[in-house]
Amino acid sequence: MLLANWNIALRWLHRGIVSVWENDNGLQWHGVLTMTNFKWILRTAGIAACVAAMLISAPQAQAQIAELEAQNIKLAIDRNDIAVSGISSGAAMAHQVHIAHSAELAGVGMVAGPPYRCADYFKGSTEFPVTSDVTAVGLCTAYYKKVGLPLDAMAKQPIEPSRLHELIDDAAKANKVDALKGVCGDHVFLIAGAIDDTVPAKVTDATADLYRWLLGKCGDDSYVKAHLTVEKRPGMPHTMPTDSSAEPAQCAAGSPYIADCDYPGASDILRFLHPKRTAGQPANRPPNPENLIKFSQRNVIGGFNPQGLMHENGYLYVPEKCRKGETCSLHIALHGCHQNEDQINEGTKDPSKRYLFPIDAGYNDVAERYGIVVLYPQASATGSTGGNPSGCWDWWGYASPGYYYQKDAIQIRNIWKIVDALAK
């Protein structure tokens, strides 16, 4: 029996290590113990030593954020007031995280976000027998125009609510996400730009219709109106809208995809998704750059877990009142494509300023004044020949083919590991 158990352990360990390469395509391996070392330890010392080596080399920060401990920061997160938002691919990922963990989240905010499982819309179709990435750029966005793909016929197809209902029901009935009743009580804030040529208005309309249907299961029309806000901004392109004169003026399109549109999008999202937290008197205190903390995402994820093209670094904004154990809310803010720390300044029109999504997206002012810790995870990018050269979040299956929308999808699982580390 003991030998049988060791053999099972060996098979499990081997599958776990190999999965890092299979899921990350060899691009994001961050472990200390390589396959060569694994085999060498196995030959020379046997399975017991191999298990010990794996336990020793697994990062000890997996259940905590070492960078917070280094500053003696003691967080006390209200697990009943955690919400998520994002822009573009970050909005799509926020949507997926919300549906996957709706029983544990208080709401979702989306700026230019496609509806849940939109990339699977034509799955099994004979008219459009295409892969999820093609659907993502041809139906769920208008990105096909930017890359010159002949997908006009697909783009003209309506996004039927019944198909979206079928796709989300399928995930819930298979227990791949929380039961859909978990959405009840949540707040949803959607922002769309009237001249967005990347995620057209019909796409955001489909997302709004899907949430009306979900919230409609929880109450009547007045309930839905109280829990869902759709903000359509005239003259707004594909960008994160702010009211900061420090950002590109006149609501400009293009990099860094953060612009002064005379509208504080992130602030409105935080206020709507965290109504109890933001109902009181705000502290008369602006955001402090020293309260933004860079941390190692991969130490939290763990070296022997697939990284799923998660960036080495994430960021945390920790308001002054949250640093010493006062109970605070938590908000997860997800950047869009071309917006991780390595890419956001590529092609910006103002070389005098270096942009960073965790500083410039507009969340930290409300966060500081009301006591909301903001988690800024980051996705990584592949090279030009990889599956994710733009540093987008996985909303079509490049990191988790076929299950990118499920609770156990690599990026969703890794984001939630960070949440658990913060709100333990």
Summarize pLDDT for 125-143 with one digit per residue, the tens.
999 999 999 999 999 999 9
Report which of 30, 81, 19, 16 is spatially closest to residue 331, judged by C-alpha positions. 81
Burial of 312 (0-12, 13-18, 19+ CB in 10 A): middle
Summarize pLDDT for 235-258 with one digit per residue, the tens.
999 999 999 888 877 899 999 999
Amino acid 44 reads T
- Asked if pLDDT for residue 34 goes beyond 60, the answer is no
Q: What does the pLDDT average to over 374-397? A: 92
- Residue 287 pLDDT class (50, 70, 90 cuts): very high
Beta carbons within 8 Å of 20's beta carbon, 6+ residues apart: 29, 31, 304, 305, 306, 307
Burial of 155 (0-12, 13-18, 19+ CB in 10 A): middle
State residue 217's pLDDT score.
Answer: 97
Higher pLDDT, 323 or 42: 323
- Asked if pLDDT for residue 17 goes beyond 50, the answer is no
Q: Where are the alpha helices (DSSP H) in 161-296?
A: 161-173, 201-216, 221-227, 265-273
Percent helix, percent strand, percent coil in the chain, to nearest 5: 40, 15, 45
Pick from 171-175, 315-319, 328-332, 350-354: least confident:
350-354
State residue 411's pLDDT score.
Answer: 98
Farthest CA pair distance, the chain: 71
Report which of 152, 158, 53, 122 is spatially closest to residue 396, judged by C-alpha positions. 122
- Asked if pLDDT for residue 75 goes beyond 90, the answer is yes
What residue segments make up the domains of the chain, in order of their start?
Answer: 2-58, 63-422
Summarize pLDDT for 297-309 with one digit per residue, the tens.
999 999 888 899 9
E runs forming strands in 54-124? 74-87, 107-111
- Residue 314 pLDDT class (50, 70, 90 cuts): very high
State residue 349's pLDDT score.
Answer: 80
Handedness of CA 74, 79, 81, 85 (dihedral sign): positive
% residues pLDDT > 90 (the chain): 76
- Residue 351 pLDDT class (50, 70, 90 cuts): confident
Reading the block at residue 353, the tokens are 């300023």
Cα(368)–Cα(191) distance, integer angstroms: 23
- pTM of this prediction? 0.86
**Mean pLDDT, all residues of the chain:** 87
Pick from 77-86, 111-120, 319-328, 376-385: least confident:
376-385
Q: Check if the beta carbon of residue 207 is closer than 8 Å to that of residue 110.
A: yes
- Asked if pLDDT for residue 45 goes beyond 60, the answer is no
